[in-house]
Structure 1
């Protein structure tokens, strides 16, 4: 009897940050990519990642490869999905456990950029290696979906924030302008955030009230990871 063939396991990470667009300065979602320097897909950009080491947990592997390639050490790191279609990698089949991470803009600024590591607008990535275009699309879909019902925006902002800052995150992620008065009304009536006793200082305008997410209200994003259908791709198939 032929012994079963072990399927290699890799760990990759999609890491999102909000950065200004070079065209108009609007905040949009960006991610770092790494240029492959060997086959398969030599020369194409790909998500940071690599083979799972025998002595590593999955999250440890994701954190290690991020630190080695980008110098980033995100506080928010969550398992996203497992990608294992038989045709996703030339030659031997490889199963990828994909994590996603979110970082604040100041954290993203410490990321190293070289000839082989570069930030890209998440909605305008080039053709990527393997099925990484599909993975980026899925991660964006999850981010936009979770923004509507969870506390995930705090990963871009920190523990406290103004409602204007929170609205800017929603606008950047959802790629649409939001009416400030309607946004404030909806957020305050939802019970998701509560005002603190502190004001934002140092600006030219009247100090704004700082808010935080309501820890008394359960965050659905802290529940068990579910299995979700992959969104249909609309462009840039790899």
Structure 2
């Protein structure tokens, strides 16, 4: 048993989503615990401890649930469950958007670029969180892609997730008027940009600090300390796994 293992209450929620009663040598709960172990410790697939299921089996389920959207579905269900427990509506009405540039490994990583502002050669994790800091959606793309362009894909995916109350997205000045017009016309979302220059002296930017805190939380999962994934969808899956781990401690 490892500290990253799922609690019984979290597993009950996930078990309902998976809806798989087939008998197997290694239960799905054990496999998911192994994937959370990899996420939390940053362990390489082939270096997984012998008391966990074979790494080939764990990678099979990781990629299977990545490709069929299971990670996103689990994340959404847990977000709603966590919000209800916090005495909030299951669907948020406000989201906060931002991106984080991270270095990529030196070889074997396509779809990367140089972020001239952050001086980082790698990828961007583009996320939208609710007011509790829970990740609603993530898109990973090359770091040289401007936030306003990357945001379109993020918001398009978010609009398909069934958060029916979501109507307002807060961001920084990178998400300008052109994006706001597009989002309002296409997705019925209002984007409000808060410029730091509008604030006198040093102040915590209202609401925006919540997404920065989420990025800080992600750094506690060592698999996310650097982008080691060949495919962007795998990088997105590990972000969802980190969010699933954090929520599982609270439900």
- TM-score of the superposition, structure 2-length normalised? 0.26
Structure of higher RCO (CA pairs closer than 8 Å, 6+ residues apart):
2
- TM-score of the superposition, structure 1-length normalised? 0.27
Which has the larger share of strand?
Answer: 1
Which has the larger share of helix?
Answer: 2
